[in-house]
Amino acid sequence: MMNSLSKKIVRAILIAAAWTLFPSAMQAEEWTLDECIRYALENSNEVKSKSIDAERGKIAINTAKMSRMPDLSASLGANTYFGRGPSRNGTYVDNSQLSASFGIAASVPVYQGMKIKHEIAQAKMNFEAATSRLELAKDNIELQITSYYLQVLYSMEMVNIAESRLELSVSECRKSLGQYEEGKISKSSYIESQALEAKDKASLVQQENNLMIALLDLRQAMNLPDSVDFSVSQNMEYTVIPDIGSLPSLKEIYEAALGSHPSILAANADVKSSESGLKIAKSAYQPTVSFNAGYGNSFYLNLMDDSANAGFVSQMRNNGNEYLGLTLTIPIYMRGSVRNNVKTSELSLRTSVIALSETEKALKKEIEQAYWGAVAAFSNMQASEKSLESASLAFENERIKLGTGVSNMYDYASAKSAMDTAVAELSHAKFDYLLKYRILEFYINL
């Protein structure tokens, strides 16, 4: 069985082959970062799932509010009695008869120990928590897509660098061939230049494969079908290097995130929901009052003596009854269920408070890591710029020396390798800094 990396490499090779054989069919549409993020959000199963949770929370609020409304029910029944049965005056007589009844009843909660109020508050907090978790899922996807997008841009830059290396190697190899034919350099020097060209060709192939794998990672993160051919836009807007000095202080970033980060908002809502849950549990200690009203009627039919039966209209007029009433329910002994529900709710509240504290700690750690990571990446980028400047100067000197016959191909190859490494390190440092800076911007612009 191939592992996931092997599968990606094989797939990248197949795509690269398709590009070579059918270039006109592989023309890919360029997508901007915003387009990639928007598509990923629209097609993310996680976002869809969190959206369903938010909709469920909205329904729960409506359900809690509607519990204040009266309930209304109707009933209809019929019985046949043989031998003895109830008469119209309420006594039982020896007589077979048929009786039918119907009624309508309404009940309105008057006082429920503030239970309904707290249930509405809890439903609102649960909805707020679900909404915040939906936003958190969207933010995580945005960061993920940004990371993959920058990885593609980095891979594109590495391909351009590899192409420039190969172009230079091909030029030097041709020059070496002429010098070898003129007897100015040895055959080993010419073979060394050929080896250098072959090495740069292999490096270009590797970088192209890396680009294909980066595009596959981005495609999979977006849930983009294989039938859609796409590439990313090499807009300079995404590669502009911001100044690290423009960032607010670490304390300012954290304090701003505490009031707006979705994970904190969700944890705070969970705490408030648990507080409402505790109040709901305690409300069971209090008595409840409800108002009741109804209307009923009945009809009797003597199966043995038809002369004893009154007319239907007469019975409907005489047998009808209406009632109004108040019901007071006082909890006296509930087998400890109310007390245990209160204790369970208290534990849930303590758990949600702990979860909030842990969420705040995790957020602080994330921001600190991103902040100091950006600072370190910026310093690394500056150091890489100096290293490239030094390596470029050394390579240029070796190239001049090689052209005049003072140096040899080995020293030239060593200087070129050092410069290539410096170029790659600077590119990596640049995109590493860009990603960490954009993560910090995410916390700042919440």
pLDDT tens digits, residue range 403-422? 776 767 767 777 887 888 88
Helix axes 115-181, 45-66, angle to 10 degrees: 170
pLDDT at 232 over 90: no
Alpha-carbon distance of 415 to 290, in angstroms, equals 91
pLDDT at 430 over 80: yes
CA quadruple 328, 332, 336, 339: dihedral sign: positive
Helix axes 33-43, 115-181, angle to 10 degrees: 140
Residue 226 vs residue 144, higher pLDDT: 144
Structure token digits, residue 72: 């209304």
Residue 214 vs residue 242, higher pLDDT: 214
Share of the chain above pLDDT 70, in %: 89
pLDDT of residue 238: 64
Helix (H) or strand (E) holding 396, with range, is helix 337-404
Q: Tell me the range of 167-171, 381-385, 399-403 where mean pLDDT is highest.
A: 381-385
User: What is the SS3 assignment for 1?
Assistant: coil
Question: Which residues does residue 298 pair with via DSSP β-bridges, in sequence order?
Answer: 101
pLDDT digits (tens, 9 = 90+) for 147-160: 999 899 889 888 98
Residue 175 vs residue 322, higher pLDDT: 322
Alpha-carbon distance of 58 to 71, in angstroms, equals 22
What confidence category does residue 24 fall into, taking pLDDT thresholds of 50, 70 and 90? very low
Q: Could you tell me which of 95, 239, 241, 252 has the C-alpha nearest to residue 155?
A: 239
Count of C-beta atoms within a 10 Å radius of residue 378: 22
Question: Which residues does residue 86 pair with via DSSP β-bridges, in sequence order?
Answer: 92
Structure token digits, residue 122: 């809890």
pLDDT of residue 446: 53
pLDDT of residue 28: 61
* Structural domains of the chain sorted by starting position, each given as residue range(s) with its CATH number in brackets: 4-69+112-286+331-444 (1.20.1600.10), 75-111+290-330 (no CATH)
What confidence category does residue 55 fall into, taking pLDDT thresholds of 50, 70 and 90? very high
pLDDT at 273 over 90: yes
pLDDT of residue 256: 87
The β-bridge relationship of strands 92-94 and 84-86 is antiparallel
Q: Cα-atom radius of gyration of the chain, to the nearest Å?
A: 40
pLDDT at 119 over 60: yes
Residue 401 burial (10 A CB sphere; 0-12, 13-18, 19+): middle
Which residue in this structure is represented by tokens 């709710």?
345
Q: Average pLDDT over the chain, rounded to whole?
A: 85
Any alpha helices (H) in 187-325, and if so which ranges? Answer: 187-222, 250-258, 262-283, 312-319
pLDDT of residue 270: 97
pLDDT at 445 over 80: no
